[in-house]
Chains A and B, each alone.
Chain A
Amino acid sequence: MEETTGAAALVSALKKEGVKHIFGIPGGAIIPVYDVLYEEPSIKHILVRHEQAAAHAADGYARALGRPGVCMATSGPGACNLVTGILNAYMDSSPVIAITGQVPTSLLGADAFQEADLLSIMLPITKHNFLVKNVEELVEAVRKAFVIAMAGRPGPVHIDIPRDVQISKAKVKIPAEIVRRGKERYDPDPRRIEEAVKLIEGAERPVLFAGGGVIWSGASPELIELAELLGAPVVTSLMGKGSIPEDHPLSLGMLGMHGRKAANLAVTECDLLIGIGVRFSDRSTGDVRYFAPKAKIIHIDIDPVEIGKLVRVDVPIVGDAKRSLQQILRALKERGRRGVRSEWKERVMQMRKDFAPKMDYDEIPLKPQRVIKEIMEVLDDDSIVVTEVGQCQMWAAHYCTIRGPRRFISSGGLGTMGFGFPASLGVKTALPDKKVIDIAGDGSFLMNSQELATAVENGIEVVCCIFNNSYLGMVKQWQDLFYGGRRSQTYLGKSPDFVKLAEAYGAWGDRVTRPGEMAPKLREALKCGKPAVLDVVIDPEEHVLPMVPAGGKLDQMITGD
């Protein structure tokens, strides 16, 4: 066996894991790795303009493909700039592998130039992290990182590599198998399945509540089958959006603070709620004391920590969503289970019809609902909508009709402004043949707008639709509703001119101000052969409604009617 450097061993190990793309920025402490990448044709490195964007791009890449995305940075400031993106991936259970350079082992803890204690900094925001001391540990850490990131509930893993480890030579073999005590319980306890089936059989008004876990376990077919077998409506969390096609007659859309009225009412009225791969976040439940007040709750999740954490659970099922649903379906079919009483199904269908969101506004300035309606006319079923955070995100979540998993990608748990645009670059890199748009706000977009350079230089043709209301809109909305309209520090003003900004970077830019303009301009942008920015001037007074105030009851929404 030949001796290789740590850097070469790292790149070999990444290739073996099937890595095709890395998002990153080089720096002093990781030059040896970049030196190996210089002549590595099978891995394309995408040079971003800020490390935060590398982490978000890797996150978007991972969510689009269902496999780990990789980001890379140098020590100290480079690695610290990854932190927000890594935490974002952690909160939304996304398998991101972060690789950073570190000062040489001999200088660890000596306050060396560009040194930061990344082992401590990354520890609470990753599923696991490594500071490797030699080449053998490095290759083993890579193998482990990819396994851990995808095992059970996915999540980010960080590997910190001192510079001397990158350049030292050793004879190492990439381990085929790693020794790891598997923690994940994929197969549910049959006794719990039995209990769940009993509750389902006794239920008259069941509701299924699907989260990101359904998407990660590939359980959409089983979710739809169970909904159809029971005649039960499906509501989703933000992460679960797309787990059931949203034009399916049993889909009620997103639940929660900015959820659809029919979804919130169905959960309030149901007598059985089956949560699948969800974590019952406060944005979904409102005040937990009044959440699904008439219902027994079955909670299926692969992470036992989530079960019983926030809401009372009658039947806890620790296991993979797909396998758990398969077993429930099998048991129900064996017993010749038919759908629920037709009154409930009729009630749900009626609510779905009565509270269907209105989108056909003709006003100027544009209403965001109208803009989304036109966007939806242009996109295919398998196009991917990525969002920034804030009002633009909640409008997208509320009004976009998503017809399959991994086609709606958004920062849920952390709510990271600046996520959408770099994440969309990751999505488009993963799926270059799909249409990828970022539904952005002017505030969010400006937090990572420098990535226009990355998009242009790498020919990543995403279209960023900026819902421009010249405000930090969601904060302004709270100020309007709960702080007497005192808009403290939320007016952003008219700068920059986003069309000129796009053009300055060499991207395509255009402005949308009138009803009927969005669809043709989006078609043009998607065909223009460049990354594109559409500056969509919307009504600054528009709120995201309905809204359940923080800590409120789900059936008591501010509707604005």
Chain B
Amino acid sequence: MKTIIFSVLCENVAGVMMRVSRCFTRRQINMDSITVGIEPSGLARMIILFQADDKMASFMRKVLLRLEPIVEVQMLEPENSIAREICLFRTRKLKEEEMSETIRLIQSAGGKVLEVREGTLIGEIGGSHEEVEHLLSSLGPDLLKEVARSGQVYLSRKGSDQDSGGI
């Protein structure tokens, strides 16, 4: 088992997410992450992360391609892709010395302080999954009240015309 990354190009129509997700549910596969965005063409691109072996990954690719609104399914290789994630977070009410230490941690991790109000800080970190994870763990669950994460988005370095994983 390893992390499989699908980049799924599909029509932007109602129900497409359900059509895709049920293919995973039926086979008892939990999606680690799913993100959707609209491309300039009007089509939507989903980035889906899940755990599977190569055989199951190749099978799932074909299963998704069979769906009417699906245009293309690329299986991305982490080493040939660029991955990013964005995360917003809010802290609990901080004491003065905690605040300065928190700001220092965020800035040294490459994050930004977006807002400080009544001792509570809202910050942002964008970057690789590991960079996001690193900052969140150094701030710790005691400090963090609320975290919103985008899920991971990937872009292949090779471009979408190079197919992968099919017969």
Measuring CB to CB, which residues of chain A are less than 8 angstroms from any residue of chain B? 119-120, 123-124, 127-128, 131, 148, 180-181, 183, 303-305, 307-309, 316, 318
Contact = CB atoms under 8 A, between A and B. Distances in A.
A288 B19 CA distance: 30
A304 B65 CA distance: 9
Nearest to A155: B66
B68 A304 contact: no
B68 A119 contact: no
A304 B64 CA distance: 11
A481 to B, nearest CB: 32
B22 interface: yes
Contact of A123 (B19, B55, B62, B66): B19
Interface string B149-166: 000000000000000001
Contacts of B59: 305, 308-309
A183 B22 contact: no
Interface in B36-73: 55, 58-59, 62-63, 65-68, 71
B167 A124 contact: no
A305 B167 CA distance: 10
10 tightest A-B CB contacts, nearest first: A128-B68, A305-B62, A304-B62, A316-B167, A304-B167, A305-B63, A318-B167, A305-B66, A181-B71, A124-B22
Nearest to A317: B167
Which of B65, B166, B167 counts the most A-chain CB atoms under 10 A from its CB?
B167
B39 to A, nearest CB: 15
Interface of B: 15, 18-19, 22, 26, 55, 58-59, 62-63, 65-68, 71, 166-167
A127 B69 CA distance: 11
Contact of B68 (A120, A131, A148): A148
Which of B15, B22, B66 counts the most A-chain CB atoms under 10 A from its CB?
B66
A180 B68 CA distance: 9
A83 to B, nearest CB: 16
Contact of A120 (B18, B66, B67, B166): B18
Given A120-B18, A305-B62, A127 B166 contact: no
A303 B67 CA distance: 12
A124 B26 contact: yes
A183 to B, nearest CB: 7
B15 A183 contact: no
Contacts of A183: 65-66, 68
21 contacts: A123-B18, A123-B22, A124-B22, A128-B67, A131-B15, A148-B68, A180-B68, A181-B71, A183-B65, A183-B66, A183-B68, A304-B62, A304-B66, A304-B167, A305-B59, A305-B66, A308-B59, A308-B167, A309-B59, A316-B167, A318-B167
A128 B66 CA distance: 10
A142 to B, nearest CB: 15
B18 A304 contact: no
A131 B71 CA distance: 21
Contacts of B167: 304, 307-308, 316, 318
A452 to B, nearest CB: 38
Contacts of A181: 71
